[in-house]
Amino acid sequence: MERELALEFVRVTEAAALSAARWMGRGNKDAADEAAVSAMRATFDTVQIDGIVVIGEGEMDEAPMLYIGERVGMGVPPMVDVAVDPLEGTNIVAKGLTGAIAVLAVAPRGTLLHAPDMYMDKIAVGPECKGRVSLDAPVKDNLKEVAKALNKKICELTVVVLDRPRHQELIEEIRMAGARIKLITDGDVSPAVAAAYPGSGVDILMGIGGAPEGVISAAALRCLGGDFQGRLWPTEEAEVERARSMGISDINHLFTLEELVQSEDVIFAATGITDGDLLKGVRYSARRARTHSLVMRGTSGTVRYIVADHQLDRKPLFKDNRIKVFEP
């Protein structure tokens, strides 16, 4: 993929973030999600790619989601797989909390795992820890390896875990090992990526979250040289059958980073919606807005931070009311 596409994908996440951020704290997660989806879909239509959504928010009959199998872009080469989460952290935006982002990943056709919309057990670490952790290893052993790689004591590590009842045993094991825990309410893509950034305050992400978000996180960590493993975690037989229908015959298979994202030619882009460890949220002023984004390319390993000031009256998508941004 041409490097010029990186900025085009940032425009896509910016549009989603600008739309969703107007719903912050209004208690309506569905409206925020719809605004982000509508903006992302409309902006994708202006990008010169022939894209198929392989990681989306639902099926074709679950509009307005960007559904699995949907075609995006202008229908011209390159042919790519697209993984999207227009609003990663719907509850976060609804409650006005921290850490919501608009995010996407793009790679050549056939190189992103078609992950079903179900749970995945995950572990994410930065470049120093690559090859030193495993979902099959005891929690304490993983923490020892991360501490050793980062030249820290276990008590100095920060582990991010989704605050869910299913993680009670995991949380106890982390505490018994002596590490610090940061519990989050929603949105595990941002902390997974932050684990690869020195000084982010995150050393490792562990626990069960969405499988689609796992593939998106893996795309970012592939760009950053970090590591990620995932294993599907079905809650009912229908999910097992769904995975098999998508070509995943072994539901217990341990997916490595290279299996989740099979090409280094991957682009990851994200824009902050609310303030978080990774990015600042959208700031509005009189008919203007400021966004904070990052975009990274796997082939070069380059990470760019982009601060953009938007004059919304000059943006056709907003000016012509094609997306719900000013009238929540």
Measured on CA atoms in the order 110, 111, 117, 118, is the torsion positive or negative? positive
* Binding-site sequence positions for Mn(2+): 33, 57, 85, 88, 213
Enter the pTM of the model: 0.92
CB atoms within 10 A of CB 25: 12
Predicted pLDDT at 4: 87
Estimate the crossing angle of helix 139-149 against helix 168-177, to 10 degrees: 50
User: What confidence tens digit (pLDDT) does each residue in 143-186 have?
Assistant: 999 999 999 999 999 999 999 999 999 999 999 999 999 999 99
Does residue 228 carry a pLDDT above 70? Answer: yes
Q: Which amino acid is at 153?
A: K
- What is the distance between the alpha carbons of residues 309 and 318, in angstroms, rounded to a whole number? 15
pLDDT surpasses 70 at 207? yes
Q: Which CATH architecture has domain 4-110+266-320?
A: 2-Layer Sandwich (3.30)
- Residues annotated in a binding site for substrate: 88-90, 119, 164-166, 186-188, 210
Ranges for all domains in the chain classified under CATH 3.30.540.10: 4-110+266-320
User: Looking at the chain, which residues constitute the CATH 3.40.190.90 domain(s)?
Assistant: 119-260
Residues 65, 69, 70, 75: what is their CA dihedral angle, to the nearest 10 degrees?
160
Tokens 């820890």 sit on residue: 129
Domain 119-260 fold = D-Maltodextrin-Binding Protein; domain 2 (3.40.190)
Q: Reply yes or no on whether the pLDDT at 59 is more than 80.
A: no
Binding residues: 33, 57, 85, 88-90, 119, 164-166, 186-188, 210, 213
Q: Which residues contact 61 (CB under 8 A, 6 or more apart)?
A: none
- Phi, psi (deg, nearest 5) at residue 130: -60, 130
- Amino acid at the residue 291: T
Q: Which helix (H) or strand (E) holds 13?
A: helix 4-21
Query: In the block, which residue shows the tokens 């930065």?
Result: 126
